[in-house]
Chains A and B, each alone.
Chain A
Amino acid sequence: MPNSFYREIINDHNLRPSHKRPLADADLELRGVNPSCGDDITLRLKVSDGIITDGAYTGDGCAISQASADIMLDLIIGKDVGTAKRLYDIFSRMITGSITEEELDELEEAGALIDVSHMPARVKCAVLGWRTMNMLLDDVSPSNT
């Protein structure tokens, strides 16, 4: 039996998340749900001048869904909206198995979720936070950034 089932980094973000908290005064808020398995998160972001200045999530779900959202926030806080959306695109392609080495490096810790590309039943768990983030940022029009 392996000592740790998922990579340590997944367990770590699941058990000790950095961004799992309410976020007062968020500019954007969206709930993401996987109805078939019950993963349920609410993602909140602060965006000013096109930069994601802060972000957090609440909710519950499996380790992959929760760790993935936490790692994502680590990565996108401080980045501009365009970069965050590009990272979403890279992440989605990593999960479906078409990504370059350079792109994998850009994902930093989120690259640990590459194992999910071999777990078809868990794809929706890994992508939940990212999909929610991408939809949230679709609402950011150039005028209010």
Chain B
Amino acid sequence: MNMDFRKDYPLLAARPDLCYLDSAATAQKPACVIEAEARFYRKINANPLRGLYSLAQDATEAYESARETVRRFLNAPSSAEIIFTRNASESLNLVAYSYGSFLSPGDEIVVTVMEHHSNLLPWQQAAKRSGAILKYIECDEKGRISEAAFRAAVTDRTRIVAMTQISNVLGVRNDIRTFAAIAHESGAVFVCDGAQSVPHIPVDVQALGVDFLAFSGHKMGGPMGIGVLYGRRKLLEAMPPFLTGGEMIEFVTREGATYAELPHKFEAGTVNAAGAVGLAEAIRYYEQLGFDVLTAREEELGTLLYEELTRIPHLRLYGADNAKDHNGIFTFSIEGVHPHDIAEILNADNVCVRAGHHCAQVLMQHLHTPATVRASLMFYNTEEEIARLADSLRSVRRRMGYAE
């Protein structure tokens, strides 16, 4: 298999000098996605789900066909369970507001210390609104959450467990299938943040047994501004709408309204149909290449990057002490140099990495570090980029005025 994926990515193909190692923030876009989004606007643009003319029906067809592609990708039972949102954050807010409205004082919401703010702040707010208690599950220094710690946190008062599948800081992967099953024993629903997992490993919502799963299109090469919430039909049907407005109603009077069927009940206003079409194209791009090929390539690159990083003097890598458990996400610091200075030096060498708290301040507090640097991989990265990152990192301390 030809591993030159860069040729499929216009930005990467035009910038051979660029080391893009920030795909956990957002992935680059293949030409087919950019073209699919443009094609929607060039050829079939009309407001989906409204017009009765053929063009509007074509737009509706394109949008609903994208929903079906996402359903197949996640192996959801029904496309009515696939709700398009702007991103994973909006998906998680939807659940926290809507399902969160069923919470009562004394109920418990369980999250982990490694959650991205997207899967933390909505639950803090839901707890505040309802009087529910927000409980944290701790991880160890490698980022692992034990089954014992999970069982200790989940009680018969737990109504919701919200957990990421792959940490955006440590790269560690949580055993969602096991945790979801334990949550269900206590009668809680399980909300999975798939923002960092769906772009990198096959995710089957039925096999995992989750009740809700959120992800963003842009982290897998889809356009920005399109995300997905999967939810079990029974739960979604019982939930009140999140946003209200156009094309999510059945019937409106001066006093009230009855709401549309799923999934439209949760898609108020004109939808991002071109974004959905672009996301479906990104999924087709994955399917065409084969998920097994992509994951094998990412593992190969991850092993190389892990070996390089662990050889660099004064570098501290956070999380697992093996490559595999990083899932392409490597967060580190260099002794005596602030992460923003590291990122600035890397930028001067055309190496793009993330520096800061990675929207996970609770985890950073848990690790006792205010900020770190993160390099993250996607299958389109190359051995050369990893070598250039390592060279650049090796020069950092000297360029900051240290003797070595």
Contact = CB atoms under 8 A, between A and B. Distances in A.
28 contacts: A1-B349, A1-B399, A3-B398, A5-B344, A5-B400, A11-B401, A12-B401, A14-B400, A14-B401, A15-B336, A15-B400, A15-B401, A15-B402, A37-B355, A37-B356, A38-B356, A38-B370, A39-B340, A40-B370, A60-B370, A61-B338, A61-B340, A62-B338, A62-B340, A62-B341, A63-B338, A63-B341, A64-B341
Contacts of A122: 340, 344
Interface string B362-389: 0000000011000000000000000000
Given A1-B395, A60-B338, A62-B340, A36 B401 contact: no
Given A38-B356, A62-B338, A66-B338, 16 more contacts: A5-B341, A5-B344, A5-B348, A5-B399, A6-B341, A11-B401, A15-B336, A15-B400, A36-B356, A37-B355, A40-B370, A62-B341, A63-B341, A64-B340, A64-B341, A119-B344
Interface in B322-337: 336-337
B93 to A, nearest CB: 21
A86 B175 CA distance: 59
A95 to B, nearest CB: 16
Contacts of A37: 340, 355-356, 371
B6 interface: no
B203 to A, nearest CB: 31
A62 B372 CA distance: 11
Interface of A: 1-6, 8, 11-12, 14-15, 36-40, 60-64, 66, 119, 122, 125
B189 to A, nearest CB: 33
Chain B CB count within 10 A is highest, among A1, A36, A122, for: A1
Given A5-B341, A61-B338, A62-B340, A38 B401 contact: no
Nearest to B370: A38
A122 B402 CA distance: 22
B160 to A, nearest CB: 28
A3 B338 contact: no
Contacts, number: 58
A63 B345 CA distance: 12
A129 B402 CA distance: 24
B338 A5 contact: no
A68 B81 CA distance: 54
Contacts of B344: 5, 62, 119, 122
B357 interface: yes
A36 to B, nearest CB: 7
A130 B275 CA distance: 44
Interface centre among A12, A40, A64 (most CB of B within 10 A): A64
A20 to B, nearest CB: 14
B404 to A, nearest CB: 13
B399 A3 contact: yes
Interface string B265-283: 0000000000000000000
Nearest to B371: A38
Contacts of B348: 5
A64 B344 CA distance: 11
A62 to B, nearest CB: 4
Contact of B357 (A38, A60, A119): A38
A4 B341 CA distance: 12
B399 A63 contact: no
A63 B400 contact: yes
Contacts of A125: 340
A14 B398 CA distance: 14
Contacts of B398: 3
